[in-house]
Structure 1
């Protein structure tokens, strides 16, 4: 006798349920629910608060941190003409980190209880409820964990003089990424570049979730061959 399929009850907190989906989780999480009201994650009100982050929290928290790191390189003696170059290098490095994290961590395929649960908290919730404005940007506590790992790597591969400037640039890149990501979902761009980026990203959500991992830029999708094919409508226009 076949085992009965688990059905998620959307009227109950979701985090404790999604793990039970097993190998059906991947299909379930990529069937988006378009309502703007986000689901409840936890029974605990305290835990629930920490799952919600307004977009403006990101620049308020991280821009001062980025500035402090950049200032440290200046304080240690990094010359002014070289300082912005290493900050720009950090922003460029972030674009690669953004791509790699999105492709290999945020889209890792899982089927175990804890794998599904952690993935849902990390990124799956965004694909299931893409218009939930308070679950779109990264909560600072979660971002700090990833940032600390990146900082350790930057210190390992660069000198004490330039490491803070590079890491400050990475943080600036992250702020631009999260704010851009929010805008692509909730903004109404009028000019060509942001309109193109919005279309590119929504294509990743609603048509080909396994391709198109760049958010601030499709650069690394082009480098690594993960640019999604044109839709039928786009192909006809060409």
Structure 2
């Protein structure tokens, strides 16, 4: 028996979880003000989770601290490693063509990135889910901090402060990411340039401009681009290659989404 076809379905279902009253309705950044974003940001469960976990990590560091030099090194290296780890995950995992082919990974891929590209300005799916982000942050930062601290016989303290750095860096990344999707012109030239490149990633060609706060690694790996350099719009910019034809063969994401939506997310269902 062949897999069911999901062609022609215009709307995409976004999985919702229980949230505070503020989050019982959808929020779209292209229709929000900067003030509304700040109010939403400080109330979002994932952001609250990052802050609380960072305070716990800092508390554990205070309990068994590392000396000043390894502490500063752990913070600095964790801050530098983070953009590289994000680039690698964004390019080779989130934009992969393999996760949706594995039944038990399909729902994770859908939640952590497919939904975001299907509707880039939908705030509820812009933030990562804690059960996927926190382990990733820990793996990217804590071992580095532990290795640095161990040289001074303070591996535990180094790991804790590096993990806290990763969590707080994530809060910063998420806020900048929100601004890039907000109906708002940043006053900072740096953020304005980042916004321009990130919008090209979401609305012109998803195969490049993977950075959020820096495009250093895009330039290093040859994935940095300007829209004028790619005159043709990518046909998969909103579905990451998960087309109706692909869904016929690997249907798990389509089943969770209510189909495969096509076209600009704000224009679906207008016909």
TM-score, reference length from structure 2: 0.63
1:189 maps onto 2:162 in alignment: no
Shift of the alpha carbon at 1:71?
A: 4.1
Kept in 2, the 8 Å contact 1:86–1:162? The answer is yes
CA distance in 1 between partners of 2:134 and 2:121 (Å): 24
Shift of the alpha carbon at 1:227?
A: 0.9
1:49 maps onto 2:45 in alignment: no
CA distance in 2 between partners of 1:124 and 1:167 (Å): 27
Choose the corresponding residue for 2:164, options 143, 164, 168.
168
CA distance in 1 between partners of 2:58 and 2:97 (Å): 37
Shift of the alpha carbon at 1:231?
A: 1.4
Partner of 2:175: 179
Partner of 1:221: 218
Kept in 2, the 8 Å contact 1:40–1:48? The answer is no
Shift of the alpha carbon at 1:107?
A: 0.6
Kept in 2, the 8 Å contact 1:181–1:215? The answer is yes
Shift of the alpha carbon at 1:139?
A: 2.6
Matches within 5 A, 1:27-42: 39-41=13-15
CA distance in 2 between partners of 1:107 and 1:176 (Å): 22
1:131 match: secondary structure: coil
Distance 1:88 1:71, change over 3 A: farther
Kept in 1, the 8 Å contact 2:138–2:163? The answer is no
Distance 1:8 1:225, change over 3 A: same
Choose the corresponding residue for 1:70, options 53, 58, 61.
58
CA distance in 2 between partners of 1:72 and 1:206 (Å): 43
User: Deviation digits for residues 138-196 of structure 1, max 9, x if unmatched?
Assistant: 13233234335446644774532412122221222211111111111114312311110
Q: Which moved more, 1:172-181 or 1:193-202?
A: 172-181
Structure 2: stretches of 5+ with no match in the other structure? 25-39, 232-271
CA distance in 2 between partners of 1:172 and 1:4 (Å): 44
CA distance in 1 between partners of 2:194 and 2:53 (Å): 28
What is the alpha-carbon root mean square deviation over aligned residues? Answer: 3.2
Matches within 5 A, 1:95-134: 95-110=83-98, 112=101, 114=103, 116-134=106-124
Q: Which moved more, 1:183-192 or 1:70-79?
A: 70-79
Partner of 2:131: 141
Shift of the alpha carbon at 1:210?
A: 1.0
2:95 match: secondary structure: coil
